[in-house]
Structure 1
Amino acid sequence: MNWIVLILAGVFEIGWPLGIKLSESSEYKIPWIGFSILSMTISVFLLWHAQKTIPMGTAYAVWTGIGATGAFLLGIIVFGESSTLWRVLSASLIVIGVMGLKLTGEH
């Protein structure tokens, strides 16, 4: 169950850079900044909960990996950021690392 909570924490971790990005190009700056703060708060709360049974180092690496990869993909899909071979391969290494931590972890 705590792995599901950790995955949700990672998904909310994607929300804050998204909100910051949208606040830069929108007339609704304050609501998007509020969205970012809410995303951060929920993300950290869920990470705290997940760490009750998942080792801290594993939980943190998975959490940041999901956030970084999700933000990377949103940047490409939504904002048209570069998707060169090396960028995609580098992001793939993050995903492989997260999967390795899950498969070899204690919980």
Structure 2
Amino acid sequence: MAWIYLIIGGLFEVAFTSCLAKAKEATGIEFVLWITGFLISVSISMYLLFLASKTLPMGTSYAVWAGIGAAGSVIAGILLFKDPTDFWRMFFLFLLISSIIGLKLSSKV
């Protein structure tokens, strides 16, 4: 169950970074809505990290949570915000994803 918490928590990390990206372009009520989305997403993400770290080692939990969030944020940036997709950026994205998978495979939990 801890791994499920980490995956969902990482996805909420992608949500809060995306909300921040949208909030910087917004004004008025739209800004308030994006910031509210950020606050809700970051709260859920941190809580799920906390739940996962009750079972998994904190170092593993944090690395996987942050890695999912980082990789997901890069992918969201490419798909939603037209971020660049040059060779080195994609190479390191795949390296990051491979590292997350490696941590999962080497975990005893």
Structure-1 residue corresponding to 2:10: 10
Question: For 1:6 and 1:74, how far apart are their aligned partners in 2?
Answer: 18
Asked if 1:26 corresponds to 2:26, the answer is yes
In structure 1, what is the Cα distance between the partners aligned to 2:106 and 2:73? 25
* Paired residue secondary structure (2:55): coil
TM-score of the pair, normalised by structure 1: 0.96
- Distance across 1 between alignment mates of 2:32 and 2:82: 24
What percentage of residue pairs aligned between the two structures are identical? 38
Determine the C-alpha separation between the residues in 1 that align with 2:14 and 2:48: 13
TM-score w.r.t. length of structure 2? 0.95
Q: Map Cα deviations across residues 50-84 of structure 1 (whole Å, 9 max, x no partner).
A: 11111110000000000000000011111111000
- Please list every run of at least 4 consecutive aligned residues from structure 1 whose deviation after the TM superposition is greater than 2 angstroms: none
Aligned counterparts of 2:89 and 2:76: Cα–Cα separation in 1: 14
- What displacement does 1:49 show? 0.4
* Matches of 1:24 and 1:56, distance apart in 2: 32
1:95-106, aligned counterparts within 5 Å? 95-106=97-108
Matching residue of 1:46: 48
Q: Give the gaps of 5 or more residues in structure 1.
A: none
